[in-house]
Amino acid sequence: MSTIKDKTKRVQPATLIAMLALFIAIGGTATAASGLISGKQIKKGTITAKQLKKNAVTGKKIKNRTITKNKLNRKVLKALSRTGGPAGPVGATGAVGAKGAPGTNGAVGPAGPKGDTGPKGSTGAKGSTGAKGATGPAGVVASQFAGSNSNSNVPAGNALTQVITDTVPSHKYAVTAKVSGTANAQTGLDCDLQANGSTVDSGGTELDAQFDEGNIFLQAVVPAGTTTVRIMCSSGQLVQINNKSIISLPVS
């Protein structure tokens, strides 16, 4: 005749699980607290996955931090280590927001140091030739001179006698003239410098005796447009003119 001990040995794991579930359902926390069957009383390896009812073990029945990385399947570990999937399409641009109030101007910063002078730029292209201007008046390129050392006479009677004449290009001149004479008897010699027939300077000298010599110097700035300069002289007695000259220098 078999004993209770023999019957207990023949109890299968599935029967034990069913009995455990029945005790928990009937007794609630009181049954669990009574300690009729504990984890220490179930032999290791006697309850397999096939003997557990589907969905019998839930997350609430698993103690926190009891499942480590080593307890997980490789496929599960690989799935957990994956990063996010490919980026989705860009969403539509949102509506423009209302314009914000302008900010206050920032303080002006200190002026920076002056930069180095840049390299000299290349020479620009030559511009086109401008229109030709109107032709200006003819200029005078040289001074004018007239002179002679040949003898001539100023007759007695105080009549003006031409001593020397120079024709010059129309212009304005600074004129210097000289007359040298020898007396035939005591007399005076007077001479005028004329420009275009008008007297611009006069001078004279006294000859005290026969063969007495005297010089007269004349000068003036003649007006623009002058074309003729000459020396005219007169004397009470015959005077021999030994030397006469006129120098005309153009001026602006």
List the chain pLDDT tens, one digit each, 252 residues.
445 445 445 555 555 566 665 555 555 544 444 555 666 677 776 777 667 677 767 767 777 777 777 777 777 777 767 666 677 888 888 888 888 888 888 888 888 888 888 898 889 898 889 898 887 666 556 899 999 999 999 999 999 999 999 999 999 999 999 999 999 999 999 999 999 999 999 999 999 999 999 999 999 999 999 999 999 999 999 999 999 999 999 998
- Contact between residue 229 and residue 156 where contact means Cβ atoms under 8 Å apart: no
Count Cβ atoms below 10 Å from residue 14 Cβ, excluding itself. Answer: 14
| Domain residue ranges of the chain, discontinuous segments joined by + | 4-78, 144-250
- Contact between residue 34 and residue 27 where contact means Cβ atoms under 8 Å apart: yes
How many angstroms separate the CA atoms of 158 and 156, rounded?
A: 6
Q: How far is CA 242 from CA 89, 129, 159, 210, 212, in A?
A: 122, 58, 19, 15, 12
- pLDDT at res. 7: 47
CATH of 144-250, one of 3.90.226.30, 3.40.50.300, 2.60.120.1340, 3.30.360.10: 2.60.120.1340
How many angstroms separate the CA atoms of 135 and 115, rounded?
A: 50
- pLDDT at res. 144: 94
How many angstroms separate the CA atoms of 198 and 148, rounded?
A: 23
- pLDDT at res. 114: 87
SS (H, E, C) the chain: CCCHHHHHHCCCHHHHHHHHHHHHHHHHHHHHHHCCCCHHHCCCCCCCHHHCCCCCCCHHHCCCCCCCHHHCCHHHHHHHHCCCCCCCCCCCCCCCCCCCCCCCCCCCCCCCCCCCCCCCCCCCCCCCCCCCCCCCCCCCCCCEEEEECCCEEECCCCCCEEEEEEEEEEEEEEEEEEEEEEECCCEEEEEEEEECCEEEEEEEEEECCCCCEEEEEEEEEEEEEEEEEEEEEEECCCEEEEEEEEEEEECC
Which pTM does this prediction carry? Answer: 0.46
- pLDDT at res. 252: 87
- Four-CA torsion 246, 249, 250, 251, nearest 10 degrees: -120
- pLDDT at res. 31: 44
- pLDDT at res. 220: 97
Torsional sign, CA 159, 163, 168, 174: negative
- pLDDT at res. 218: 98
